[in-house]
C-alpha cells in the first residue's frame, strides 16, 4: 500500500474534498479496515448502512461498494473509496456525479450501459424518490429507459457510453430524469 502522505497528496489534487474532511474520511476508512487499507464489499456495505451520517439503503450501499472497487477484485481500497466519495459531496459538479453514477450502474464494466443496466438505474431512481419497490411499474421503467436511449444513444449502438450519458445533464428533454438520477446521490 502507498504511504498515507502520497495517497493524501494524490487525493487532494484529484478531488474537491477539503483536506480536513479528506483526513477524517481516510482515518475512518483505515479504522474500519483495521489499518489494512481495504474492505471487502460485504464489510463496506455493512459500514455504509450502519453509518448514522450516511443512512444508505442496502441497495445503494451495494452499488456504491461495487463502484468503489476499481479493479473488481471484491475489495475497496482507501483511495478508491475517497475518490468515489468525492463524487457524493454536494459541491461535486453534475458531470462528476453523472460519471460516478455511470460507473455504479455499468455492472459488467464494459464502459457502456445496456438497457438492463439502465433499467436498474431507473428502478433505483424511482425507489429513491419514494416509490415502494413493489409498486414500481415495469411499463413505466421501460418507457423511461426508452426516453433515455432515444435522447442519448447518439450512435444507435443500443448502449450508452459515458459521453452519451452526460447528455442527462444538458439535454432539456431529459432535465427531470437527469435531476432525479443526480438525486440518487443525495442522502439525509
Tens-digit pLDDT profile for residues 115-146: 999 998 888 877 776 666 656 788 888 998 99
The DSSP letter of residue 134 is: G
Instruction: Give the chain's mean pLDDT.
Output: 80
For 46-55, which contacts have Cβ atoms below 8 Å and span 24 or more sequence positions?
54/187, 55/187, 55/188
Fold that domain 94-185 belongs to in CATH: Recoverin; domain 1 (1.10.238)
Q: What is the pLDDT of residues 56-99, one digit of tens each?
A: 677 778 878 888 887 778 899 888 888 788 777 777 777 778 88
In this prediction the pTM is: 0.67
- How far apart (Å, rounded) are the C-alpha atoms in residues 5 and 79? 12
Burial of 155 (0-12, 13-18, 19+ CB in 10 A): exposed
Q: What homologous superfamily is domain 4-86 in, according to CATH?
A: EF-hand (1.10.238.10)
Of 30-34, 42-46, 62-66, 159-163, the one with minimum mean pLDDT is 62-66
Q: What are phi and psi of 156, to 5 degrees?
A: 55, 40
d(CA 171, CA 94): 13
- Cβ burial of 122 (10 Å; 0-12, 13-18, 19+) is buried
* CATH 1.10.238.10 residue spans of the chain: 4-86, 94-185
Amino acid at each position: 500500500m502507498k504511504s498515507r502522505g502520497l495517497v493524501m497528496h494524490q487525493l487532494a489534487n484529484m478531488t474537491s474534498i477539503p483536506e480536513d474532511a479528506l483526513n477524517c474520511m481516510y482515518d475512518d476508512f483505515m479504522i474500519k479496515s483495521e489499518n489494512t487499507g481495504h474492505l471487502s464489499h460485504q464489510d463496506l456495505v455493512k459500514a455504509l448502512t450502519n453509518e448514522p451520517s450516511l443512512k444508505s439503503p442496502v441497495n445503494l450501499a451495494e452499488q456504491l461498494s461495487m463502484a468503489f472497487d476499481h479493479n473488481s477484485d471484491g475489495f475497496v481500497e482507501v483511495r478508491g473509496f475517497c475518490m468515489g466519495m468525492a463524487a457524493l459531496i454536494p459541491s461535486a459538479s453534475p458531470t462528476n456525479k453523472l460519471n460516478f453514477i455511470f460507473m455504479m450502474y455499468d455492472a459488467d464494466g464494459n464502459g457502456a450501459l445496456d438497457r438492463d443496466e439502465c433499467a436498474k438505474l431507473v428502478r433505483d431512481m424511482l425507489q429513491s424518490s419514494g416509490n415502494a419497490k413493489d409498486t414500481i411499474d415495469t411499463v413505466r421503467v421501460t418507457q423511461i429507459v426508452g426516453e433515455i436511449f432515444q435522447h442519448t444513444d447518439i450512435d444507435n449502438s443500443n448502449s450508452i457510453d459515458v459521453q452519451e450519458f452526460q447528455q442527462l445533464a444538458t439535454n432539456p428533454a431529459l432535465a427531470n430524469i437527469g435531476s432525479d438520477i443526480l438525486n440518487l446521490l443525495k442522502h439525509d
